Amino acid sequence: MALPPLLLLQDIALTFGGTPLVESAELSVSPGERACLVGRNGSGKSTLLKIAAGLIEADRGKRFVQPGATVRYLAQEPDLSAYPTTLAYVEAGLGPGDDHYRARYLLEQLGLTGDEKSADLSGGEARRAALAHVLAPQPDILLLDEPTNHLDLPVIEWLEGELKSLRSAMVLISHDRRFLESLSQATIWLDRGRTRRMDRGFAHFEEWRDQVLEQEEAEHHKLGRKLVAEADWLRYGVTARRKRNVRRLGNLHAMRQQYRERTRAVGTVNVSLAEAEQSGTLVVEAEGISKTYGDRAIVSNLSLRVLRGDRLGIIGPNGAGKTTLINMLTGVLDPDGGRVRLGSNLQMVTLDQRRASLDPDATVVETLTGGRGDTVTIGGQTKHVIGYMKDFLFSPEQARTPVGVLSGGERNRLMLARALAQPSNLLVLDEPTNDLDLETLDLLEEMIQDYSGTVILVSHDRDFLDRTVSSVLVSEGEGRWLEYAGGYTDMVAQRGRGVQARVVEKESKPKSADRPAASAPAQGKRKLSFNEQHDLKTLPKRMGEMEARIAKVQEILADPELYSRDPARFQKAMDALTQLQTELHAAEERWLELEMLREELEG
């Protein structure tokens, strides 16, 4: 006999600005059940979760929660402003009988001490504190909206294990396929304001969705109705794209096998490189490169070759130095030792974690074309901007839509479209999956698989790595990096474990205790110098100014015709961008070094 639901939504409807967002949605969660809520970006998933949490009242429908059942909701942008510290915020969510030790345990597991001031938290830190806040009381129902956003691999894998160990019922929204596959037992699909339910986990969703869409499409044709709505084109196009991606995954597996063969035949590789360098076969060659900041090694004696067509994934915990390594491999940052040689005729396009800013007043077309004409040049071929927009799931009606009114997912797609429209043969992507929905991830995977050049990317998304890269470079700690053929799953099989968190405090305390006694008093008396205090105070403002200047230069370089029209200006902008990025990176590292020193001296 089925248990009565803890949480029930029936016939939910909600309209925003005259447009129905949710028309007839249902949601039922039984004790201990783990369900995922999926749907296109903008379909109303987060809104439905807020209705379930009681934060938004629906225009129509019924919400029922079992009397006495506790509900905790994780928002995408948590607000901690009412609490002085992260510990105070987490403890505020505990009930009379809850264990206060669990609050400190969760904060520690999530990389926080509990003493962080709420006003000074970054977005990622606030999100980790919010996770501890909702998990600490072990509620009857957990409603989690993108819980893995801005978390690194060790924390994501820890969170999976923690959620599996709870008896709480859960509803999850996430773009992380592996996370959903690991946790979900049921799938709720929100499509055009209505929900469909499958009593199986997310691993079976795509097959089920395709069957539903194919059946609907067949019924449309039986009725003799012509499909003209762009929404229909987008929905039914999903099936064809997934079938194409199945073939692409087969090609990726073949590429990985070729990579394994190449890395085994070292002598053969050397010969082919010597013959092919002039034609651009060699993209990046690093020989014994090293980089340290203070006493901390970021990279130690790394040698690596990246050839044309390779897809290299760089993975490691937060703080391992992934962005620093990318900057060295692409010539933005000089190593302390060793050398990096870049191949000939390289045209590089970079999409970094901050994402180049978009002009909110510009239209979608103006953003993609730079305000000139109605075409873009992709891979040397001219394409009408409307067709290119459709590749990124935009409808023709959105051509004149201002960027400022686009949803977060749409802006992410637009940034990707603009970056990929620039001519390149080397694509460098630093955390490209941040804040992307599942269908945009599908699109990005398709673009990478079709890309004829070389790709270097940093990602914490295990499924995305499995679907896109031919090899991964993994941080082994203390500046050591090792390369493994295949994706993330292949790496775990070869290495015997996943990525582990970089421990800072737990390692530094024993080391300080092992120092000679004579050095201890000197360390205790150490204070920040005047210059160090000044840098610590002024660097954030300077970094903000540099980021603004970088954004302006990137706006100039976003013009796809700039190189052919004015090569001198293009080169000047590239030089300025490289210099600014180098200065920004140095400033960030200096601020991080001083902040860590300040915490050590005050702690």
Which DSSP string do the residues of 307-349 spell out, in sequence order?
A: ETT-EEEEE--TTS-HHHHHHHHTTSS--SEEEEEE-TT--EE
Write out residues in the chain with pLDDT < 50, as ranges.
1, 225-234, 236-237, 264-279, 503-525
The answer to whether residue 14 sits within a structural domain is yes
The answer to whether residue 451 sits within a structural domain is no
Count Cβ neighbours within 10 Å for each residue of 94-126 and write b for 16 or more, e otherwise: beeeeeeebbbebbebbbbebebebeebeeebb
Q: Using alpha carbons, select from 87, 76, 160 the residue that is nearest to residue 117.
A: 87
Helix boundaries (H) for 166-276: 177-183, 205-222, 230-264, 266-276
The answer to whether residue 306 sits within a structural domain is no
**Burial of 223 from C-beta contacts in 10 A (0-12 / 13-18 / 19+):** exposed
3-state class (DSSP) for residue 452: coil
pLDDT for res 225: 47
Contact 580, 333 (CB under 8 A): no
Distance (Å, whole) CA 509 – CA 491 = 31
The answer to whether residue 599 sits within a structural domain is no
The answer to whether residue 504 sits within a structural domain is no
- Beta pairing class for 471-477 and 381-384: unpaired
3-state class (DSSP) for residue 537: helix
Q: Using alpha carbons, select from 316, 251, 284 the residue that is nearest to residue 426.
A: 284
Report the binding-site residues: 39-46, 316-323
DSSP state of 516: -
Report the binding-site residues for ATP: 39-46, 316-323
The answer to whether residue 559 sits within a structural domain is no
3-state class (DSSP) for residue 219: helix
The answer to whether residue 140 sits within a structural domain is yes
pLDDT for res 279: 30
- Positive or negative, the Cα torsion across 212, 215, 220, 223? negative
The answer to whether residue 161 sits within a structural domain is yes
Distance (Å, whole) CA 532 – CA 90 = 33
The pTM (predicted TM-score) of the whole model is 0.68
Q: Which domain holds residue 82?
A: 7-205
Amino acid in the structure at residue 133: H
Tokens standing for residue 493: 């099989």
Distance (Å, whole) CA 135 – CA 160 = 12
What is the number of structural domains in the chain?
1
Q: How big is the CA angle at 601 (ends 593 and 86), to the nearest 5 degrees?
A: 80
**Burial of 364 from C-beta contacts in 10 A (0-12 / 13-18 / 19+):** buried
CATH number of the domain enclosing 17: 3.40.50.300
Q: Using alpha carbons, select from 416, 421, 451, 458 the residue that is nearest to residue 436.
A: 416
